[in-house]
Chain A
């Protein structure tokens, strides 16, 4: 019956909108709160209509160097992503095209390292960083981010490379291609989408990473995650300023993610199906 279908369709649409709004609500509320005064922020009942102010943002920039933290976030995310791709691509290539009996086991093992909570490795990593004199340095963060994201990167690229028919590589070999030529002229162009998705995902993961940033850095190498955390102070919770700081922290990555959402979704679902 067309009517029933129409009703079901409406119900599904409403359900979808409801779920979407529910998921979006925290971000939306954050956005609103950033433009409120502290009093407006803790008002009961919660205010949806109010006179917006930019005071919180100037306070955040005045109190702590937003640009420094943003720069650190950018550097650690981008460098760890690039480094990760440089390591993961050859690894995934060898596993996809030169499989052995142990390949599957190695991949599972790599993935299993992600199953341990980060806090389990906190003490050894902290001690290592301290001994190397790398506490509160960008290098320590870059190394940790790269290594944390490598299992995911290898898996995603492996899934991607497996889709390339091996005969195409054999044809390249017959045409006289060296290993690098094969990779540069055949594998890379055919896996550009996959590499982009992998890179994007790891960029987002590194940007949002808070645990290691908080534990391994302080004033010099702090990222935006530490900026946000600094607003939960013993003096009390300054909701409005916290929201403003958070908004400033997540804005770049949200905008970036918005423009690359298609690639991100592709990369995430790709890995899941395989």
Chain B
């Protein structure tokens, strides 16, 4: 049986239906990432699991017990907030030991647990400082430490890295990954950042408008998206979505299996841009983005813009005529409702 089960969870605030029916099974030790655009309900879903908001209807089971109506403090869950939510008037030690003190854990045991967590997070030197005296990254580690010492059944992370700068975000992400490997704890992590989703998750749950669009491992979502939304949400830059009607030349490549109002999807790395005409579909360069490691070339083909990615630098400039070669083996076909028909071939 799954460790954490969400059975048709809904949440409404008055007339606003935020979560419209979510079913999910999470295994023990899994790292699950909720990802989706702003307003999709991922944070709300996390807060429902945490018990910070009451569930309107549905059932929440943890380790065989029904926790649907249980108060947050009794669910044996720990949460790391986006804004860290540290107690400003307490030292790092007191912040991390607060929950244990409330649970009447013996002082010696508290000290041992806090010191161990502090060591894991490189916070030992800061135990007597208050949050005011710490940097953003240190505060985030204290927030994580506060969750670790409780050894909860499930860790909940609500966009913990959003307030950090890019470099720190990268480092802390790696630390979270290592921590998960070391602790093996069941984790639910909410983010709008794809890179975090792809690198941290065992499975990703893509949410949109209060419903699950797809659940799968990061690469599953990347290679076999269930619909247009997931196809375009996962992957940076987004998958090129070409309307079948607009680009007859592309549709032909799909061998006639695309319905008239459907779409052909191809990832940027599935396109090859050749200078001049002759190879592939003719187009005109709209924009060149040189990222250093990659180059992104935006090409206008018959009124539709496609983005191609290549490893090499390019001498192409805006306005140049080019030919876009599309690998027919990596096309994703979608019907007019946006559902996937088939993904051709396997990724390169």
Contacts and interface: CB of A to CB of B under 8 A. Distances in A.
A168 B51 CA distance: 15
A186 B85 CA distance: 11
A108 to B, nearest CB: 23
B85 A171 contact: yes
Interface in B118-164: 146, 150
Contacts of B88: 168, 190
Contact of A175 (B51, B83, B89, B99): B99
Interface residues of B, number: 23
Chain A interface, DSSP helix/strand/loop, else mixed = helix
Contact of B102 (A171, A177, A190): A177
B142 to A, nearest CB: 11
B73 A177 contact: yes
Given A171-B81, A174-B79, A176-B102, A189 B73 contact: no
Interface in B57-113: 71-74, 77-79, 81, 83, 85-89, 98-99, 102-103
A172, A174, A185: most-surrounded residue (chain B CB, <10 A): A174
B27 to A, nearest CB: 23
A110 B79 CA distance: 38
B72 A167 contact: no
B78 A174 contact: yes
Contact of A168 (B85, B102, B103): B85
A270 to B, nearest CB: 18
Interface in A183-214: 185-186, 189-190
Contacts of B89: 189-190
B84 to A, nearest CB: 8
Interface in A131-188: 165, 167-168, 170-178, 181, 185-186
Nearest to A171: B85
A174 B73 contact: yes
Chain A, interface residues (CB within 8 Å), range: 10 to 19
A174 B77 contact: yes
B52 interface: yes
B226 interface: no
A186 B99 CA distance: 13
Contacts of B78: 174
Contacts of A177: 73, 102
A186 B102 CA distance: 13
Nearest to A186: B87
B110 to A, nearest CB: 13
Given A170-B52, A171-B81, A177-B102, 15 more contacts: A165-B83, A168-B85, A171-B85, A171-B87, A171-B146, A173-B52, A173-B72, A174-B51, A174-B78, A175-B98, A175-B102, A176-B73, A181-B102, A189-B89, A190-B88
Interface of A: 165, 167-168, 170-178, 181, 185-186, 189-190
6 contacts: A171-B86, A171-B146, A173-B72, A175-B73, A175-B99, A190-B89
* Closest 7 pairs (CB-CB, A-B): A176-B73, A175-B99, A167-B85, A171-B85, A189-B89, A176-B102, A173-B72
